[in-house]
Structure 1
Amino acid sequence: MVKESMDDLVAFTTVATQQSFTRAAAQLGISQPALSAKITALEARLGVRLLTRSTRSVSTTEAGERLFKSIGPHFDGIASGLAELSELRDKPAGSLRITSVEHASQTILLPALAALLPDYPDITVEIINDYGLADIVADRFDAGVRLGEQVAQDMIALRIGPDFKQYVVSAPAYFKRYGKPKTPHDLNAHRCIGLRLPTSGGVWSWPFQKDGRELKVRPGAQLAFNTMTLQLDSALAGLGLGYLPEDVVKEHLAAGRLVRVLADWSAPMSGYHLYYPSRRQPTPAFSLLVKALSLQRGEFRRN
């Protein structure tokens, strides 16, 4: 196949993966018109429509999906083969693409990368924070980070964080105005700050546990966000009750900016795990990341 055709196939797989011409063009380092021209040329050459475009989204047609599933693994293999050549360099090189959640990225991934990347300037890392359950194979991620119970059984999973608890909190001014809930069922009468889940479009149900009894409550959320930072800011502003990890709120609790309620109902969360397909051969860059996370895991075990 001539080089121009290969370039067009790379362009197609990037658009199909990103589901966006804007993001794909940025990843490829070309303009959107140039990218669109490549896709149009490929469709004309093949005689079929590969992508369905709208003002807000891009998706593959039936023909496009068949092509993507057919050639995608081959491009992954090429990328892995090129990455393996970094073993012959003085220091490994390569790119890593990880789907994670905001809390894990801030508390686990960034500290590990801060220890790793200064010594390996040719390794690049992209972290996509998303509270949905991404298909890391279809979406072409190298790995994902989620809570233990969220990891599919056919994945290799490495625990990288300790168990932790979620706290129901808000500012003192909120409780002065609305009072305190005595049980999780009382939350339905309170103003709550929800976490929006992109996969289902719903709001995350808050888990609770007491004396061996477990329950989940999906409180009516007057406010809902897809980032933990805005949830915390809203709780500090007294706009409602937030349900946030202990380490995120402990300094604010100690300073009196937040007050905790339903302490006897706190449910332990199963800790974050790094997961990736068992059939994928780790690249040197990925192996270094796993090593960095393993060292960090040793630190939290000692603590």
Structure 2
Amino acid sequence: MTRAELPGLQTFLTIAELGSLRAAARALGVNPPTISHQLKVFEERLGTPLLTRNTRSVTMTDAGRALFISTRHLVGAIEVALDTARDAAENKSGQLRITLPYRAWQLIIAPKLAAFETAYPDVELEFAINEALVDIVSEGFHAGIRLGDHLQNDMIARRLSRPQDGAYIASPDYLARYGHPSNPGDLLSHSCIRHRQITSGRIAEWRFKTPGSEISVAVSGRLIFNDLRTVVEAARQGFGIGWSLRAGVEEELARGYLIEILPEFCVQRPAFYLYFPKSLARLGILRSFIEHFAVVRET
């Protein structure tokens, strides 16, 4: 049996269960001539009559009875599966697994998590903190959060933040000892704490905006980390100048543990996005998550 024959099978099973074309037509929301035509087409596709009809009732042939016995439980299972899928679109309970970098957790999720848990007490959230690009389908995640230039292909994406400002940072002690850079070129004479991106394996470029263009400065230094939190900590301890998303170091800047340098030259980074496969677009708990955490309306 092919997929094209499934509607005909449903028509046949409904007639057989209810015992008349008229009752089946009411159950399926069509008129009796349509039911009769659907049954005729189905029988012609199979090459055998399934029902004998008179003005008041129908009776199954031997072929019809055999088909009814062997398939009615399958259709019931399909109906249950379809009902389950429909329920998932409205369901506000269950588990949601999300992979995200630490800064997305710190800046987007943590501030609003308590309110989400209050609003959705039956949702279990699992967060996997990971800077690398992750195949969310093969790894069993429902969704991922990354900056807009690090999204997995062929996914639906929803914006969760505004574009992110970057910040070049150093400790007061370091700047007191080695001086305060006044332009990007001055960084060539400083010890810079670099970041090796897990997504690409390459050391991140230090880019700066200048009138009419952007430039890249080939900075150097003896420390390289693959985690931005460690870059920030090393900068705070006076090992050199580092880079971070500005929102992730606002507390250190406010308390004077770090000083921002060259802010007028700093390049803005993309926004954070939640991305997920198209097959989960109607998942109720995922839609609720997006509605709660998204702060920027798509245009």
Same fold (TM over 0.5): yes
Paired residue secondary structure (2:223): strand
Q: How much has 1:215 moved relative to structure 2?
A: 2.5
Q: Which residue pairs with 1:210 in the alignment?
A: 210
Q: Deviations over 1:158-190 (max 9, x none)?
A: 111012211111111101222233433443432
Q: Sequence identity of aligned pairs in percent? A: 33
Paired residue secondary structure (2:288): helix
TM-score (norm 2): 0.63
Q: How much has 1:284 moved relative to structure 2?
A: 1.8
CA–CA distance in 2 between the matches of 1:285 and 1:123?
7
Asked if 1:107 is matched to 2:139, the reply is: no
Query: 1:115–1:180: structure 2 CA closer, same or farther, 3 Å change rule?
Result: same
Q: Which residue pairs with 2:124 in the alignment?
A: 124
Q: Which residue pairs with 2:47 in the alignment?
A: none
The CA RMSD measured in Å over matched residues stands at 2.8
CA–CA distance in 2 between the matches of 1:103 and 1:218?
25
CA–CA distance in 1 between the matches of 2:174 and 2:230?
17
Query: 1:136–1:81: structure 2 CA closer, same or farther, 3 Å change rule?
Result: farther
Query: 1:80–1:229: structure 2 CA closer, same or farther, 3 Å change rule?
Result: farther
Q: How much has 1:139 moved relative to structure 2?
A: 2.4
CA–CA distance in 1 between the matches of 2:221 and 2:166?
17
Query: 1:240–1:292: structure 2 CA closer, same or farther, 3 Å change rule?
Result: same
CA–CA distance in 1 between the matches of 2:83 and 2:110?
27
Q: How much has 1:263 moved relative to structure 2?
A: 2.1
Unaligned stretches of 5+ residues in structure 2: 1-80
Q: How much has 1:288 moved relative to structure 2?
A: 1.2
Q: Which residue pairs with 2:237 in the alignment?
A: 237
CA–CA distance in 1 between the matches of 2:122 and 2:226?
32
Native 8 Å contact 1:165 1:245 kept in 2:
yes
Corresponding letter in the other structure for 2:197: L
Q: Which residue pairs with 1:226 in the alignment?
A: 226
Asked if 1:193 is matched to 2:216, the reply is: no
Query: 1:274–1:132: structure 2 CA closer, same or farther, 3 Å change rule?
Result: same
Query: 1:247–1:156: structure 2 CA closer, same or farther, 3 Å change rule?
Result: same
Unaligned stretches of 5+ residues in structure 1: 1-78, 299-303
Q: How much has 1:281 moved relative to structure 2?
A: 4.1
Corresponding letter in the other structure for 2:126: E
- Name segments (4+ residues, structure 1) moved above 6 Å: 79-84
Q: Which residue pairs with 1:260 in the alignment?
A: 260
Number of corresponding residues = 217
TM-score (norm 1): 0.62
CA–CA distance in 2 between the matches of 1:231 and 1:160?
25
CA–CA distance in 1 between the matches of 2:83 and 2:228?
38
Asked if 1:168 is matched to 2:141, the reply is: no
Q: How much has 1:265 moved relative to structure 2?
A: 1.0
Q: How much has 1:85 moved relative to structure 2?
A: 4.8
Q: How much has 1:82 moved relative to structure 2?
A: 6.5
Paired residue secondary structure (1:229): helix
Corresponding letter in the other structure for 1:148: G
